Amino acid sequence: MDVPRSGPQKAGYRIPQVGNDKEEATLEVFFFGTGAEGSPDKHFQSWFKQFDGDVEKTAKREKFSAGALEVEMIEISGTYKIPLGPPVGPKKKAPMQMVKENFRLLGAVVKTPDRGNWFFKLAGPSDTVEAARGAWKTVLESAK
């Protein structure tokens, strides 16, 4: 997966599809800086908005430690909306969206006391994301 040379995305990976899924999933790693731009609530809210409905109410949440670091995780599933253009208007929505049924998103923030918050987003067809869950959690648990 191509990663921009600048900007908040620091890494990107493709996860091969499994079973009857028709496409791969993606794992992206983001760093937004050490100030307010690195707020977990802000980025979790933006991920919730990528799904139809009020998924924040049904999102699974978990917190755990990775050594001395705190990790906060969310899980969302349902209908995923991919913008097909830049956001416009007062609600900052793309004029057209691609809709993907039966998608899942595993999101996490690894909170470091001196290096800011690092965000991990695994999104794709539900079965493919579920198959990658163990490896994804191992990556989070190994954060230093």
Q: CA separation (Å) from 32 to 24, 28, 29, 42, 48?
A: 26, 13, 10, 11, 18
Residue with tokens 């620091």: 10
For residue 1, the model assigns a pLDDT of 65
For residue 3, the model assigns a pLDDT of 66
Torsion of CA 34, 58, 84, 109, to 10 degrees: 20
pTM recorded for the entire structure: 0.88
Mean pLDDT by 10 residues, the chain (144 residues): 77 94 94 82 91 93 93 95 76 76 96 90 96 94 88
For residue 34, the model assigns a pLDDT of 78
**Tens digits of residue pLDDT in 113-129:** 888 899 999 999 999 99
